[in-house]
Every structure is written in structure tokens, then in C-alpha cells.
């Protein structure tokens, strides 16, 4: 295989993986930006979205609609969690917020076990999605799911970009992320902004969950954990709390993981996750504000 084609193939893999990380990381950053909260339960919205899509699909609903259902139920779950668990502890110590979200993770994952058992379920995808493209005699291949992932991520991120730069609500969300009290003083309804932030973040996670399941072919209650941790890494690489940073971090991380597997000695491949988290720790130590974040320092 020619090196050029090999690299092209890896770039395709990296973009596809990076899209998923970016989708999840942006949600983490939205919530962290506005609430200063490290939301460990964010990954579980992927699981909720995927199981919702699975259940809706099992009822004979076409994939397009079950995908939308996964997004909607992911978003709804996020909003409910905010209302029931996070709002009562809002303003408490960092650790209290973090532990509350850890408890929510525990509850949601065990709810998943209660409803679906802890073993993986097959995630069927429709025929039109179950195909792949081949170029240069099969030296470059990618699946329809890859294409769908990149396209839907592009659409979602464009909508988000429009929202946070062109609408009062989106500007307000950025304003509240910067200075909650000043946002209050100009008359922004901060509760409403927080609900919208959770709906958006969790909807994105729901979408990522369905796409993740479509790629992996299976769903299970613990499926959100690894992507969540990866999203943390992505968000911190880019600058925690920054939307553009999460986007950048997501794609960088996707590229990096593909690079580790494709170009480093194969003995290192199984240690990919360990390497990624070493990178996280390195960033926390040497560049806690990430690559993009400039306007506000992270307190250490």
C-alpha cells in the first residue's frame, strides 16, 4: 500500500473518531462553562440516547426517527437530571457538584442494567447505512456510518455555532459562562440558560451515543464511560469551558489516537488509553488552560 493512501485512510479514521469526541466534549464544556461543574454523568447521556434509539427502532420505527428519538430522550434526560439532582446543589463546593454527578452516573448505569441487563445488546442498523465506500482497490475504505457521523456532527456544530453567535439566548449563555451575576443583572434568566445548556449538551451526547452504537454494533449500560473520559481529555486539551476548544481538542484527540495505533509500534496499541490519559495529566500540569483558553485562568 502506498504511504499516501495509508495516511489518507488514517485521516479519514481520525476525522470520524474526532467528530464523536468533539460532540461529547462540547457538551462537557457547555455545562462546565456555565456551571463550573465537572459533569461525570455526561457520558451516560450517550448510553441513554443509544438505548432509546434501540428501543424505538425495535418497535419498527425507521432509523432516522429513532436517531431523532435518541437525541430527544438524551436531551430530556439531561434536563431532568439538572432539575432533580444538580439544581439543588448549585453553588455548593466543587467536590459536592462532582460527587453528585458521580452518583447520577451510578444511578443511570444501574438503571441501564435494571432495564437492559449488563450484557451488550446488538444495535441493528438499516441496510442503507450498512455499506462502505472503497477507493483505490480497497486501499481506502470508509463506512456509510463514518459519513453519517461526519455529516451530522458538521450540521450540529454549525447549528451550535449559529446559536451561540447569533441569538440572544446563545450570547446570553456565553455571557453567563463568563459572569453569572452580570448576566443576572442584564436580565438574563440564568435558570433557563442552564436548562438550554443541558438540553443541548445532552442532545449532542445522545446523538454521539447513537452514532457510536451504530459504529460499534452494540450498546451496553457502561458504554458512556470511556468516551466521557476521552471527552474530558479533548475538552481539557482545547481549554475547558470553551466551545471552540472542545471542538479542536476532539479532533486533535481523534487524530492522536489513530496516530498511536497506525504509526507507533504495535505493542503500544493496547496501551492507547493509558497514553491518552498520560497526555491529559500532562496538559493539566503544564497547560491547564488548554490550547485556546486565554480569557480566564483556571485556578489551581
Integer Cα distance of 160 and 287 in angstroms: 27
- Indicate the SS3 state at residue 135: strand
Minimum CB separation from other proteins for residue 85, in Å?
A: 5
Cell of 25: 466534549
Integer Cα distance of 80 and 262 in angstroms: 41
Which string of b and e fits 188-208 if b means at least 16 CB within 10 Å?
bebeebbbbbbbbbbbbbbbb
**Residue carrying the nine cell digits 440558560:** 193
Check residue 266 for interaction with other proteins (CB under 8 A). no
Check residue 99 for interaction with other proteins (CB under 8 A). yes
Site string for other proteins, 61-80 (x = CB under 8 A): --------------------
* Start-end of H helices in the chain: 3-35, 42-58, 63-81, 94-116, 144-166, 168-178, 180-185, 190-216, 225-238, 243-263, 272-286
Check residue 265 for interaction with other proteins (CB under 8 A). no
Check residue 259 for interaction with other proteins (CB under 8 A). no
Check residue 117 for interaction with other proteins (CB under 8 A). yes
Q: Which of 61, 72, 102, 292 binds other proteins (CB under 8 A)?
A: 102
Check residue 185 for interaction with other proteins (CB under 8 A). yes
Which contiguous run of DSSP H or E holds residue 132? strand 132-135
Check residue 274 for interaction with other proteins (CB under 8 A). yes
4-12, 141-149, 173-181, 204-212 -> range binding other proteins (CB under 8 A): 173-181
Check residue 141 for interaction with other proteins (CB under 8 A). no
Check residue 236 for interaction with other proteins (CB under 8 A). yes
In the complex with other proteins, which residue's Cβ is closer, 96 or 136? 96
- Looking at residue 295, the DSSP 8-state letter turns out to be S
In the complex with other proteins, which residue's Cβ is closer, 12 or 35? 35
Site for other proteins in 214-233 (CB under 8 A): 222, 225, 229, 232-233
Check residue 92 for interaction with other proteins (CB under 8 A). yes
Integer Cα distance of 47 and 45 in angstroms: 5
Minimum CB separation from other proteins for residue 102, in Å?
A: 7
Find, among 251, 215, 219, the residue nearest to 143 by Cα.
215
Q: Which of 8, 61, 68, 113 binds other proteins (CB under 8 A)?
A: 113
Cell of 197: 445548556
Length of the chain: 300
Check residue 278 for interaction with other proteins (CB under 8 A). yes
Check residue 284 for interaction with other proteins (CB under 8 A). yes
Q: Give the Cβ contact number of residue 143 at 10 Å.
A: 17
Region of 142 (left: φ > 0; alpha: ψ -120 to 50; beta: rest) is: beta
Check residue 260 for interaction with other proteins (CB under 8 A). no
Q: Give the Cβ contact number of residue 161 at 10 Å.
A: 14
58-66, 139-147, 248-256, 265-273 -> range binding other proteins (CB under 8 A): 265-273
Residues that bind other proteins (CB under 8 A): 38, 85, 88-89, 92-96, 98-100, 102-107, 110-114, 117-118, 168, 171-172, 174-175, 178-179, 181-190, 222, 225, 229, 232-233, 236, 270-271, 273-274, 277-278, 280-281, 284-285, 288, 295, 298-300
Amino acid at each position: 500500500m502506498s504511504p499516501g493512501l495509508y495516511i489518507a485512510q488514517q485521516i479519514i479514521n481520525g476525522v470520524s473518531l474526532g467528530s464523536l469526541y468533539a460532540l461529547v466534549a462540547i457538551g462537557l464544556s457547555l455545562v462546565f462553562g456555565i456551571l463550573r461543574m465537572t459533569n461525570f454523568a455526561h457520558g451516560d447521556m450517550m448510553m441513554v440516547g443509544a438505548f432509546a434509539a434501540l428501543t424505538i427502532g425495535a418497535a419498527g420505527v425507521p432509523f432516522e426517527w429513532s436517531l431523532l428519538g435518541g437525541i430527544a430522550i438524551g436531551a430530556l434526560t439531561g434536563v431532568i437530571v439538572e432539575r432533580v439532582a444538580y439544581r439543588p446543589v448549585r453553588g455548593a463546593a466543587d467536590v459536592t457538584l462532582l460527587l453528585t454527578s458521580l452518583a447520577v452516573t451510578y444511578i443511570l448505569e444501574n438503571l441501564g442494567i435494571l432495564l437492559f441487563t449488563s450484557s451488550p445488546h446488538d444495535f441493528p442498523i438499516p441496510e442503507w447505512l450498512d455499506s462502505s465506500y472503497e477507493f483505490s482497490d480497497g486501499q481506502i475504505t470508509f463506512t456509510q456510518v463514518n459519513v453519517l457521523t461526519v455529516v451530522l456532527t458538521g450540521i450540529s456544530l454549525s447549528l451550535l455555532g449559529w446559536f451561540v453567535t447569533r441569538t440572544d439566548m446563545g450570547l446570553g449563555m456565553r455571557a453567563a459562562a463568563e459572569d453569572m451575576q452580570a448576566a443576572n443583572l442584564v436580565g438574563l434568566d440564568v435558570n433557563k440558560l442552564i436548562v438550554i445548556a443541558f438540553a443541548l449538551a445532552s442532545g449532542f451526547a445522545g446523538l454521539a451515543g447513537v452514532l457510536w452504537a451504530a459504529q460499534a454494533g452494540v450498546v451496553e449500560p457502561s458504554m458512556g464511560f470511556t468516551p466521557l473520559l476521552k471527552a474530558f481529555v479533548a475538552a481539557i486539551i482545547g481549554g475547558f469551558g470553551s466551545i471552540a476548544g472542545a471542538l479542536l481538542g476532539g479532533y486533535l484527540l481523534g487524530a492522536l489516537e489513530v496516530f498511536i495505533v497506525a504509526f507507533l509500534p504495535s505493542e503500544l496499541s493496547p496501551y492507547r488509553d493509558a497514553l491518552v490519559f498520560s497526555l491529559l495529566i500532562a496538559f493539566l500540569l503544564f497547560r491547564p488552560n488548554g490550547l485556546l483558553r486565554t480569557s480566564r485562568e483556571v485556578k489551581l
